[in-house]
Protein backbone atom coordinates (compact mmCIF):
# COMPACT_ATOMS: atom_id res chain seq x y z
CA UNK A 1 0.00 0.00 0.00
CA UNK A 2 0.95 3.64 -0.24
CA UNK A 3 -0.28 7.15 0.30
CA UNK A 4 -3.47 8.50 -1.27
CA UNK A 5 -3.55 12.04 -2.69
CA UNK A 6 -6.52 14.08 -1.49
CA UNK A 7 -7.72 17.65 -1.99
CA UNK A 8 -7.91 20.01 0.97
CA UNK A 9 -11.43 20.97 2.07
CA UNK A 10 -12.07 24.43 3.57
CA UNK A 11 -12.60 24.54 7.32
CA UNK A 12 -16.20 24.42 8.52
CA UNK A 13 -15.36 25.64 12.03
CA UNK A 14 -12.54 27.49 13.77
CA UNK A 15 -10.46 24.90 15.63
CA UNK A 16 -8.08 26.08 18.31
CA UNK A 17 -4.35 25.54 17.93
CA UNK A 18 -1.87 25.87 20.78
CA UNK A 19 1.63 26.88 19.68
CA UNK A 20 4.26 26.00 22.30
CA UNK A 21 7.46 28.07 22.08
CA UNK A 22 10.37 26.86 24.24
CA UNK A 23 13.01 29.55 24.63
CA UNK A 24 16.55 29.69 25.96
CA UNK A 25 18.59 32.80 25.16
CA UNK A 26 16.67 33.46 21.95
CA UNK A 27 15.14 36.76 23.04
CA UNK A 28 16.28 38.41 19.80
CA UNK A 29 14.15 35.98 17.79
CA UNK A 30 11.12 35.75 20.07
CA UNK A 31 9.07 38.67 18.71
CA UNK A 32 9.05 37.52 15.07
CA UNK A 33 8.47 33.92 16.17
CA UNK A 34 5.32 34.78 18.13
CA UNK A 35 4.11 37.07 15.36
CA UNK A 36 4.43 34.25 12.82
CA UNK A 37 2.18 32.07 14.98
CA UNK A 38 -0.50 34.71 15.55
CA UNK A 39 -0.52 36.87 12.43
CA UNK A 40 -1.53 35.60 9.00
CA UNK A 41 -3.09 32.42 10.40
CA UNK A 42 -6.65 32.74 9.13
CA UNK A 43 -9.39 30.22 9.88
CA UNK A 44 -8.08 29.05 13.26
CA UNK A 45 -7.96 30.42 16.79
CA UNK A 46 -4.41 30.43 18.13
CA UNK A 47 -2.98 30.68 21.62
CA UNK A 48 0.74 30.76 22.38
CA UNK A 49 2.59 29.33 25.37
CA UNK A 50 6.17 30.56 25.90
CA UNK A 51 8.34 28.51 28.27
CA UNK A 52 11.54 30.29 29.26
CA UNK A 53 14.25 27.89 30.42
CA UNK A 54 16.05 30.31 32.77
CA UNK A 55 17.55 32.37 29.95
CA UNK A 56 20.51 34.61 30.74
CA UNK A 57 19.60 37.20 28.10
CA UNK A 58 16.45 39.32 27.83
CA UNK A 59 14.23 36.43 26.70
CA UNK A 60 11.95 36.41 29.74
CA UNK A 61 11.49 40.18 29.73
CA UNK A 62 10.75 40.10 26.01
CA UNK A 63 8.24 37.28 26.47
CA UNK A 64 6.41 39.18 29.20
CA UNK A 65 6.29 42.32 27.08
CA UNK A 66 4.72 40.31 24.27
CA UNK A 67 2.18 38.77 26.67
CA UNK A 68 1.24 42.23 27.93
CA UNK A 69 0.45 43.27 24.37
CA UNK A 70 -1.37 40.10 23.27
CA UNK A 71 -4.07 38.47 25.38
CA UNK A 72 -3.61 35.05 23.77
CA UNK A 73 0.00 34.63 24.92
CA UNK A 74 0.95 32.94 28.20
CA UNK A 75 4.45 32.95 29.69
CA UNK A 76 5.95 30.45 32.11
CA UNK A 77 9.46 30.69 33.53
CA UNK A 78 11.62 27.89 34.88
CA UNK A 79 13.27 28.74 38.23
CA UNK A 80 16.45 27.11 36.92
CA UNK A 81 17.66 25.66 33.63
CA UNK A 82 16.09 22.25 32.93
CA UNK A 83 17.23 21.68 29.35
CA UNK A 84 15.41 21.35 26.06
CA UNK A 85 13.41 18.15 26.55
CA UNK A 86 11.98 19.20 29.92
CA UNK A 87 11.08 22.59 28.48
CA UNK A 88 9.29 21.02 25.50
CA UNK A 89 7.36 18.69 27.79
CA UNK A 90 6.32 21.41 30.21
CA UNK A 91 4.88 23.43 27.35
CA UNK A 92 3.15 20.48 25.71
CA UNK A 93 1.59 19.50 29.04
CA UNK A 94 -0.04 22.94 29.21
CA UNK A 95 -1.38 22.82 25.65
CA UNK A 96 -5.18 22.67 25.59
CA UNK A 97 -6.11 23.47 21.99
CA UNK A 98 -7.56 20.93 19.57
CA UNK A 99 -4.15 20.75 17.93
CA UNK A 100 -0.64 21.59 19.04
CA UNK A 101 2.54 22.84 17.36
CA UNK A 102 6.00 22.91 18.96
CA UNK A 103 7.91 25.88 17.56
CA UNK A 104 11.46 26.74 18.57
CA UNK A 105 11.91 30.42 19.40
CA UNK A 106 14.41 30.85 16.54
CA UNK A 107 12.07 29.39 13.90
CA UNK A 108 8.98 30.79 12.20
CA UNK A 109 5.66 29.53 10.90
CA UNK A 110 4.63 30.42 7.36
CA UNK A 111 1.42 32.35 6.63
CA UNK A 112 -1.58 30.02 6.52
CA UNK A 113 0.36 27.00 7.77
CA UNK A 114 -1.91 26.36 10.75
CA UNK A 115 -5.12 26.44 8.72
CA UNK A 116 -3.66 24.13 6.06
CA UNK A 117 -2.68 21.54 8.65
CA UNK A 118 -5.99 21.96 10.47
CA UNK A 119 -7.87 21.27 7.23
CA UNK A 120 -6.23 17.85 7.08
CA UNK A 121 -7.07 17.15 10.71
CA UNK A 122 -10.69 18.23 10.32
CA UNK A 123 -11.36 16.16 7.20
CA UNK A 124 -9.47 13.03 8.33
CA UNK A 125 -10.13 12.09 11.98
CA UNK A 126 -7.77 9.11 11.73
CA UNK A 127 -4.82 11.39 10.91
CA UNK A 128 -3.05 12.54 14.05
CA UNK A 129 0.14 14.07 12.66
CA UNK A 130 0.44 16.50 9.74
CA UNK A 131 3.54 18.11 8.25
CA UNK A 132 4.78 19.82 5.13
CA UNK A 133 8.24 21.13 4.38
CA UNK A 134 10.40 23.61 6.26
CA UNK A 135 12.54 26.11 4.37
CA UNK A 136 16.02 26.67 5.73
CA UNK A 137 17.18 30.27 6.01
CA UNK A 138 19.99 32.27 7.59
CA UNK A 139 19.32 36.01 7.67
CA UNK A 140 17.16 36.70 4.63
CA UNK A 141 13.70 35.15 4.87
CA UNK A 142 12.75 33.37 1.61
CA UNK A 143 9.30 33.38 0.05
CA UNK A 144 7.09 30.55 1.27
CA UNK A 145 5.26 28.16 -1.05
CA UNK A 146 1.64 27.55 0.00
CA UNK A 147 1.27 24.37 -2.03
CA UNK A 148 -1.53 23.52 -4.45
CA UNK A 149 -4.29 22.44 -2.11
CA UNK A 150 -3.47 18.73 -2.01
CA UNK A 151 -2.12 16.40 0.64
CA UNK A 152 -1.13 12.74 0.94
CA UNK A 153 -2.86 10.45 3.40
CA UNK A 154 -0.29 7.90 4.61
CA UNK A 155 -1.51 4.90 6.63
CA UNK A 156 0.65 4.82 9.74
CA UNK A 157 1.99 1.32 9.02
CA UNK A 158 3.09 2.31 5.51
CA UNK A 159 4.73 5.50 6.73
CA UNK A 160 6.58 3.48 9.40
CA UNK A 161 7.68 0.86 6.87
CA UNK A 162 9.22 3.50 4.62
CA UNK A 163 10.96 5.12 7.59
CA UNK A 164 12.48 1.79 8.60
CA UNK A 165 13.64 1.09 5.06
CA UNK A 166 15.13 4.57 4.71
CA UNK A 167 16.41 5.03 8.25
CA UNK A 168 16.18 8.81 8.02
CA UNK A 169 14.00 11.34 9.77
CA UNK A 170 12.20 13.36 7.10
CA UNK A 171 10.42 15.69 9.54
CA UNK A 172 12.17 18.48 11.43
CA UNK A 173 9.79 19.89 14.04
CA UNK A 174 8.43 23.37 13.32
CA UNK A 175 6.38 22.11 10.35
CA UNK A 176 4.46 19.53 12.41
CA UNK A 177 0.96 19.73 13.86
CA UNK A 178 -0.38 17.00 16.16
CA UNK A 179 -3.75 16.29 17.69
CA UNK A 180 -3.58 17.15 21.36
CA UNK A 181 -5.57 13.98 22.15
CA UNK A 182 -2.93 11.93 20.34
CA UNK A 183 -0.18 13.59 22.34
CA UNK A 184 -1.98 12.70 25.56
CA UNK A 185 -2.28 9.10 24.34
CA UNK A 186 1.32 8.47 23.29
CA UNK A 187 3.09 10.63 25.87
CA UNK A 188 5.74 13.32 25.80
CA UNK A 189 9.36 13.54 24.65
CA UNK A 190 11.86 11.04 26.04
CA UNK A 191 14.67 12.54 28.10
CA UNK A 192 17.07 9.79 27.00
CA UNK A 193 16.86 10.85 23.33
CA UNK A 194 18.03 14.47 23.27
CA UNK A 195 19.14 14.31 19.63
CA UNK A 196 16.40 12.12 18.13
CA UNK A 197 13.46 12.97 20.38
CA UNK A 198 11.47 14.43 17.48
CA UNK A 199 12.08 11.36 15.31
CA UNK A 200 11.03 8.97 18.07
CA UNK A 201 7.89 11.04 18.67
CA UNK A 202 6.86 10.79 15.00
CA UNK A 203 7.58 7.05 14.93
CA UNK A 204 5.61 6.52 18.13
CA UNK A 205 2.70 8.53 16.76
CA UNK A 206 2.60 6.51 13.54
CA UNK A 207 2.20 3.28 15.52
CA UNK A 208 -1.32 4.41 16.49
CA UNK A 209 -2.39 6.98 13.86
CA UNK A 210 -2.20 7.86 10.19
CA UNK A 211 0.04 10.63 8.86
CA UNK A 212 -0.71 13.54 6.53
CA UNK A 213 1.75 15.34 4.25
CA UNK A 214 0.93 18.70 2.65
CA UNK A 215 2.30 18.52 -0.89
CA UNK A 216 4.55 21.41 -1.85
CA UNK A 217 3.56 23.48 1.17
CA UNK A 218 6.20 25.25 3.23
CA UNK A 219 4.82 25.03 6.76
CA UNK A 220 7.74 26.64 8.59
CA UNK A 221 11.04 28.47 8.25
CA UNK A 222 13.95 26.71 9.95
CA UNK A 223 16.69 29.13 10.96
CA UNK A 224 20.33 28.03 10.73
CA UNK A 225 22.89 29.89 12.82
CA UNK A 226 26.01 29.22 14.85
CA UNK A 227 24.10 28.55 18.08
CA UNK A 228 21.78 25.84 16.70
CA UNK A 229 21.71 22.93 19.14
CA UNK A 230 22.72 20.40 16.49
CA UNK A 231 25.95 22.38 16.03
CA UNK A 232 26.75 23.34 19.61
CA UNK A 233 25.73 20.08 21.30
CA UNK A 234 25.77 17.29 18.72
CA UNK A 235 28.74 18.24 16.50
CA UNK A 236 26.61 18.50 13.39
CA UNK A 237 28.50 18.30 10.11
CA UNK A 238 31.40 16.22 11.51
CA UNK A 239 32.19 12.49 11.36
CA UNK A 240 31.51 12.28 15.08
CA UNK A 241 28.25 14.18 14.65
CA UNK A 242 27.07 11.75 11.98
CA UNK A 243 27.93 8.86 14.31
CA UNK A 244 25.87 10.44 17.11
CA UNK A 245 23.00 10.89 14.67
CA UNK A 246 23.18 7.24 13.58
CA UNK A 247 23.18 5.99 17.17
CA UNK A 248 20.29 8.24 18.16
CA UNK A 249 18.20 7.23 15.13
CA UNK A 250 18.75 3.59 16.04
CA UNK A 251 17.70 4.25 19.64
CA UNK A 252 14.61 6.06 18.36
CA UNK A 253 13.56 2.99 16.38
CA UNK A 254 14.19 0.76 19.40
CA UNK A 255 12.18 3.02 21.70
CA UNK A 256 9.21 3.45 19.37
CA UNK A 257 8.93 -0.07 17.98
CA UNK A 258 10.57 -2.35 20.51
CA UNK A 259 8.73 -1.46 23.70
CA UNK A 260 5.44 -0.15 24.98
CA UNK A 261 1.83 -1.22 24.91
CA UNK A 262 1.55 -0.78 21.14
CA UNK A 263 4.43 -3.14 20.27
CA UNK A 264 3.32 -5.91 17.90
CA UNK A 265 4.61 -8.59 15.56
CA UNK A 266 4.52 -6.04 12.73
CA UNK A 267 6.54 -3.58 14.78
CA UNK A 268 9.07 -6.32 15.58
CA UNK A 269 9.48 -6.99 11.86
CA UNK A 270 9.85 -3.28 11.16
CA UNK A 271 12.45 -2.98 13.90
CA UNK A 272 14.50 -5.75 12.28
CA UNK A 273 14.39 -3.79 9.04
CA UNK A 274 15.40 -0.58 10.82
CA UNK A 275 18.38 -2.26 12.50
CA UNK A 276 19.59 -3.57 9.15
CA UNK A 277 19.19 -0.09 7.64
CA UNK A 278 21.21 1.60 10.38
CA UNK A 279 23.95 -1.02 10.00
CA UNK A 280 23.98 -0.48 6.24
CA UNK A 281 24.32 3.27 6.70
CA UNK A 282 27.28 2.82 9.06
CA UNK A 283 29.02 0.56 6.54
CA UNK A 284 28.27 2.94 3.66
CA UNK A 285 29.79 5.87 5.54
CA UNK A 286 32.89 3.79 6.29
CA UNK A 287 33.21 2.57 2.71
CA UNK A 288 32.87 6.10 1.37
CA UNK A 289 35.53 7.32 3.80
CA UNK A 290 37.91 4.60 2.54
CA UNK A 291 37.18 5.60 -1.04
CA UNK A 292 37.96 9.24 -0.21
CA UNK A 293 41.07 8.40 1.81
CA UNK A 294 39.73 10.05 4.99
CA UNK A 295 42.46 9.34 7.52
CA UNK A 296 40.61 11.08 10.36
CA UNK A 297 37.46 8.97 9.99
CA UNK A 298 36.60 6.93 13.16
CA UNK A 299 36.32 3.59 11.35
CA UNK A 300 36.26 1.34 14.47
CA UNK A 301 33.33 3.24 16.01
CA UNK A 302 31.25 3.02 12.83
CA UNK A 303 32.01 -0.67 12.34
CA UNK A 304 31.18 -1.41 15.96
CA UNK A 305 27.81 0.29 15.54
CA UNK A 306 27.10 -1.71 12.39
CA UNK A 307 27.90 -5.00 14.13
CA UNK A 308 25.75 -4.15 17.13
CA UNK A 309 22.78 -3.25 14.94
CA UNK A 310 23.23 -6.26 12.66
CA UNK A 311 25.71 -8.93 13.81
CA UNK A 312 25.83 -10.57 10.36
CA UNK A 313 26.59 -7.33 8.53
CA UNK A 314 29.92 -8.75 7.35
CA UNK A 315 28.04 -11.29 5.20
CA UNK A 316 26.07 -8.64 3.33
CA UNK A 317 27.04 -6.98 0.06
CA UNK A 318 28.03 -3.79 1.87
CA UNK A 319 29.99 -5.62 4.54
CA UNK A 320 31.96 -7.60 1.96
CA UNK A 321 32.61 -4.42 0.00
CA UNK A 322 34.07 -2.69 3.06
CA UNK A 323 36.30 -5.69 3.77
CA UNK A 324 37.58 -5.55 0.18
CA UNK A 325 38.32 -1.85 0.47
CA UNK A 326 40.24 -2.42 3.69
CA UNK A 327 42.37 -5.09 2.05
CA UNK A 328 43.26 -2.83 -0.86
CA UNK A 329 43.86 0.18 1.37
CA UNK A 330 43.38 3.85 0.68
CA UNK A 331 44.59 5.72 -2.37
CA UNK A 332 46.74 8.40 -0.76
CA UNK A 333 46.86 11.75 -2.52
CA UNK A 334 43.75 11.11 -4.64
CA UNK A 335 40.35 12.72 -3.97
CA UNK A 336 38.64 9.40 -4.74
CA UNK A 337 39.92 5.86 -5.25
CA UNK A 338 39.31 5.03 -8.95
CA UNK A 339 37.95 1.55 -8.15
CA UNK A 340 35.29 2.92 -5.82
CA UNK A 341 34.12 5.83 -7.97
CA UNK A 342 31.03 4.00 -9.35
CA UNK A 343 29.76 3.00 -5.90
CA UNK A 344 30.45 6.49 -4.54
CA UNK A 345 28.47 7.99 -7.42
CA UNK A 346 25.62 5.54 -6.81
CA UNK A 347 25.50 6.61 -3.16
CA UNK A 348 25.30 10.27 -4.13
CA UNK A 349 22.49 9.55 -6.61
CA UNK A 350 20.60 7.66 -3.92
CA UNK A 351 20.89 10.68 -1.62
CA UNK A 352 19.52 13.00 -4.32
CA UNK A 353 16.58 10.68 -5.02
CA UNK A 354 15.85 10.46 -1.30
CA UNK A 355 15.58 14.25 -1.08
CA UNK A 356 13.33 14.38 -4.14
CA UNK A 357 10.99 11.82 -2.61
CA UNK A 358 10.99 13.69 0.69
CA UNK A 359 9.82 16.93 -0.92
CA UNK A 360 7.41 15.27 -3.33
CA UNK A 361 5.71 12.70 -1.14
CA UNK A 362 6.90 13.46 2.39
CA UNK A 363 8.73 10.18 2.83
Q: Which residues contact 353 (CB under 8 A, 6 or more apart)?
A: none
Q: pTM for this one?
A: 0.91
DSSP string, 29-59: HHHHHHHHHHSS-TTSEEEEEEEE---SSSH
Burial string for 77-90 (b: 16+ CB within 10 Å, else e) reads ebeeeeebbbbbbb
For residue 129, CA distances in Å to 53, 203, 246 come to: 27, 10, 24
Distance, in Å, from the CA atom of 222 to the CA atom of 110, rounded to the nearest integer, reads: 10
Number of helices followed by number of strands (H, E) in the chain: 13, 10
The alpha carbons of the chain give a radius of gyration, in whole angstroms, of 22
Q: CB pairs under 8 A, 24+ apart, for 351-358?
A: 354/166, 354/168, 358/170
Q: How far apart are CA 200 and CA 43, in angstroms?
A: 31
pLDDT at 329: 73
Nearest of 51, 47, 49 to residue 23 by alpha carbon:
51
Q: What CA dihedral angle connects 345, 237, 284 and 290, to 10 degrees?
A: 80
User: What pLDDT sits at residue 336?
Assistant: 67
Helix (H, G, I), strand (E, B) or coil at 305: helix
Give all domains of the chain, ordered by start, each with its CATH number: 15-189+197-225 (3.90.550.10), 239-361 (no CATH)
CB 358 within 8 A of CB 347: no
Digit-by-digit pLDDT tens for the chain (363 residues) are: 689 999 999 999 999 999 999 999 999 999 999 999 999 999 999 999 999 999 999 999 999 999 999 999 999 999 999 999 999 999 999 999 999 999 999 999 999 999 999 999 999 999 999 999 999 998 888 889 999 999 999 999 999 999 999 999 999 889 999 999 999 999 999 999 999 999 999 999 999 999 999 999 999 999 997 655 555 454 567 999 999 999 999 999 999 998 656 567 789 999 999 999 999 999 999 988 887 788 889 999 999 999 999 999 999 999 998 888 888 777 666 666 677 677 777 778 888 888 888 888 999
What's the pLDDT at 226? 67
Assign 15 to helix, strand or coil.
coil
Strand 176-179 versus strand 99-102 pairing type? antiparallel
What torsion do the CA atoms of 304, 275, 187, 193 make, to the nearest 10 degrees?
20
pLDDT value at position 228?
Answer: 53
pLDDT on residue 235: 59
CA distance 272 to 244: 20
- What was the pLDDT predicted at 40? 93
Q: Note the pLDDT of residue 349.
A: 86
Q: How far apart (Å, rounded) are the C-alpha atoms in residues 4 and 8?
A: 13
- What pLDDT is attached to residue 324? 85
Please report the pLDDT score of residue 109 as a whole number. 98
Amino acid sequence: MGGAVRRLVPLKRRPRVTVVIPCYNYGRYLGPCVASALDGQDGVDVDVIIIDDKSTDDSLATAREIADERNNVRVYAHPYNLGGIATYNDGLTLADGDYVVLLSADDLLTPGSLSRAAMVMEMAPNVGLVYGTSRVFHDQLPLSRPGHGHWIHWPGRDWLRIRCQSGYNVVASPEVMMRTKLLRKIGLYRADLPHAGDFEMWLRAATVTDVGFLIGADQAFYRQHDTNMHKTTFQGGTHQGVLVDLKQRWLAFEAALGTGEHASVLHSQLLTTARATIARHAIQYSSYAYARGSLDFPFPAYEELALRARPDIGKTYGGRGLAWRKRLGMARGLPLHPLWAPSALALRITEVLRRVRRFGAGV
